[in-house]
Amino acid sequence: MRHHRNQHRSRRKTMSITAASATVLAVVAATAAVQSNAFGNEEEQTAASQSPAEAQAQECGAGAFQAEVAKTGDTWKARHGDTVLYTGDDMFAAMSAGLDSLTPNRTTKERMVVLGSGTISASERLKLPSYTVLDVCGTIHATGAVATDTGPIYSRDTTDVEVQHAKITGAPMYGMFFRSVSNLTLGEIDMRLSGGLGIRIDNGSKTAPATNTRIDNVHVSGASSNAVETAGLDGVTIGTVTARDVGEAGLLLNTTTNAEVGTVDAENVGSGTGYAAFRMANRNGRIGDSYETNIHVERVIARGGGRGIFCVSESGGAVIDRVDIADTENNAVLVENCYNVTIAAEGGTVSGAGGIRIAARDEFANTSDVTLGNLTVTDSFIEESPCAENTVIKDVELVNTTKDVC
């Protein structure tokens, strides 16, 4: 197998992180605003097919929509225009009725707004068809036993699906699960879980990748698995992933190419495991048989937990601009059987006993073309074993730190 060395190229893109990153989910205010003018004739006609940027810039619930699901007291009501679709105490039934009222086989986006908080079974999933915009102004609490491949918000084999806002609690199998969805947009997502996995986006067993995924701002705490995981995607833009007290990875990229990530911010992620704040695995970043730079991360922050950065199993083609890693239980950084990886291209700090390791296992081709630079490493170590190919370590300040490299 031949691995190609590429000169470090700054692969800057203008991050399409919209103003939604500053949005607060002001449910009461948004509810009042929407209910005061919902379903006016002009607004009903102009509908919800705004651009993602326009939709994300507004407060939750504001703007035009086709279906409304709202809670008053203990009663949910779903309606489309003047037509009442559902009245009762079942949040899931109300949301399903609202979705079902949208135009069948549509080719432009239509929007449903959910106003209020409630409980659904963890074995249920709200299935979003193509060209659907969902805006949840409240909290969905998943309770009870889970079922395979379920999550409160779900879509499969679709295109142009958008979730502008959502809060999810409980312990679902997945907070959100998307399979083979192209043109997927997630805005402001907040999950305070007690188990399960936050967001999984994959292409199933299909050969063709899912394309054009955008995630603006995600906060996940309490998941027993990963906060955000991708597999089989091509073309991903992520603003910020914030992970707190998560059992496995903060952001895990598998078999994903052409990814642009802003910040991964993790505390106590993967404690007692080999998972990391930011992990790449399973030939992530590999295009054809080569590792041309196509994964770009602006910043990784890690405090405590398992590892800070972990690249493994024939992954690579990655540049991480800045790192801020301290007090991990396992390695602060581990690059194992990876190719063309640059860490701290613009600077950073690593501290604590976990250390930085460049390593390889026998079942894969040896690690090659790893660059470490512009780092201050404190109370730690840098180790290369076995000797990798074409390792570059430059502009690294060692403070009470040992270095054992080839």
pLDDT tens string, the chain, 406 residues long: the values are: 434 434 333 333 333 333 333 333 333 334 333 333 333 333 333 334 444 444 445 799 999 999 999 999 999 999 999 999 999 999 999 999 999 999 999 999 999 999 999 999 999 999 999 999 999 999 999 999 998 999 999 999 999 999 999 999 999 999 999 999 999 999 999 999 999 999 999 999 788 999 999 999 999 999 999 999 999 999 999 999 999 999 999 999 999 999 999 999 999 999 999 999 999 999 999 999 999 999 999 999 999 999 999 999 999 999 999 999 999 999 999 999 999 999 999 999 999 999 999 999 999 999 999 999 999 999 999 999 999 999 999 999 999 999 999 9
pLDDT, position 16: 37
Determine the 3-state secondary structure of 136 from DSSP.
strand
Determine the 3-state secondary structure of 128 from DSSP.
coil
Task: Collect all residues with Cβ–Cβ distance below 8 Å to 20 and sequence separation of at least 6.
Answer: 56, 57, 164, 187, 188, 216, 217
Phi, psi of 230 (to 5 degrees): -120, 155
Q: How far is CA 169 from CA 120, 225, 311, in A?
A: 10, 15, 30
Determine the 3-state secondary structure of 388 from DSSP.
coil
Ordered structural domains, the chain, with CATH: 27-404 (2.160.20)
Residue carrying structure tokens 């299935």:
127
Q: Say what the pTM is.
A: 0.86
- What are the tokens at 349? 């700090």
Cα(371)–Cα(393) distance, integer angstroms: 6
Q: How far is CA 44 from CA 38, 41, 256, in A?
A: 8, 5, 39
pLDDT, position 57: 54
Task: Give the chain's radius of gyration (CA, Å).
Answer: 22
Contact predicate 239/262, CB 8 Å: yes
- Least Cα distance to 237 among 197, 201, 268, 207 occurs for 201
Phi, psi of 183 (to 5 degrees): 55, 50
